[in-house]
Amino acid sequence: MERRPELWIVAGPNGAGKSTIASKTLEISHALDPDKICQRVRAQLSPLKLVLGEKRFADATNLLAVLWVERVVASAIRRQRSIAVETVLSTDKYLKHVLRARQLGFEVCMIFVALPEPNDHVRRVTMRMRAGGHAVPEEKIRQRWHRAHDMLQLFVPYLDYLAVWSNAGFIHDDTPDPVLVAEKEHAQARVVVLRRNELPEITRRFG
């Protein structure tokens, strides 16, 4: 029997450690990362920075990267090819791709990665910046933490598989052991909470 194509969404607020967990758990070689693509776009279009100014250049290149990633995802779904993409999941923009993928027979899966509190994400992003990573305004980090938790609930009914991971070890350790907090194993299944105290904001919503 031919294996169904897969759409993987690797989701979670800034600083959660999404790429680390994705690299360990995904069979697909890598997930599209809008942040890394944005860095490449900025390097290629760097002369425009003098014309646009720093803020307009940053906003424009970020938009280009986001639009490019969405086009690639839509194209893969249309051609029924497996694909994985990273997102902070602060909006429902990927819901249309999820619904289209389901129509075309995809298995739709999500890995959601988080830390217990917004402050933890702020600290993790600060650590990453000191190591040469990109900056994210603190206000955005906090807003996205709350929105990502809301969006997770929106997406759950349309997922064939969900794994919620806590990366709390990331707060004090650059090589933490992630903890599986909750899991949904097939489309009709409910989400089973495995570690209720790890990510209380998420586990309380699953009952």
pLDDT in tens, 128-174: 777 666 678 888 899 999 999 999 999 999 999 999 999 887 555 55
Closest by CA position to 162, among listed 154, 170, 172, 171: 154
What is the structure's pLDDT at 150?
96
| Mean pLDDT in consecutive groups of 10 residues from the start of the chain, 207 residues | 88 87 68 76 72 73 84 96 94 97 97 93 81 76 94 97 87 67 92 93 90
**What pLDDT is stored for residue 132 in this prediction?**
62
The pLDDT assigned to 66 comes to 84
**Euclidean distance between CA atoms 198 and 71, whole angstroms:** 35
Does this model's pTM top 0.75? My answer is yes
Locate 193 and state its tokens.
């909470």
Q: How far apart are CA 69 and CA 12, in angstroms?
A: 17
Instruction: Name the nearest CA neighbour of 25 among 161, 193, 154, 174.
Output: 161
Q: Tally the C-alpha atoms within 13 A of residue 76's C-alpha that lie toward its C-beta.
A: 20
Q: Residue 134: what pLDDT?
A: 66
Looking at residue 43, its pLDDT comes to: 74
Name the region of 12 (left: φ>0; alpha: ψ -120 to 50; beta: rest). left
Query: What Cα–Cα distance (Å) separates residue 13 from each residue in 30, 89, 125, 129?
Result: 19, 7, 10, 16
**Per-residue confidence (pLDDT) for residue 60, from 0 to 100:** 74
Q: Between vectors from CA 75 to CA 159 and to CA 60, what angle results, nearest 5°?
A: 100
Contact call for residues 17 and 112 (beta carbons, < 8 A): no
Determine the CATH number of domain 6-32+82-206: 3.40.50.300
Residues 6+ apart with CB under 8 A from 90: 13, 143, 144, 147, 148, 151
Helical H segments across 30-167, by residue range: 34-44, 48-52, 54-78, 95-103, 118-130, 138-155
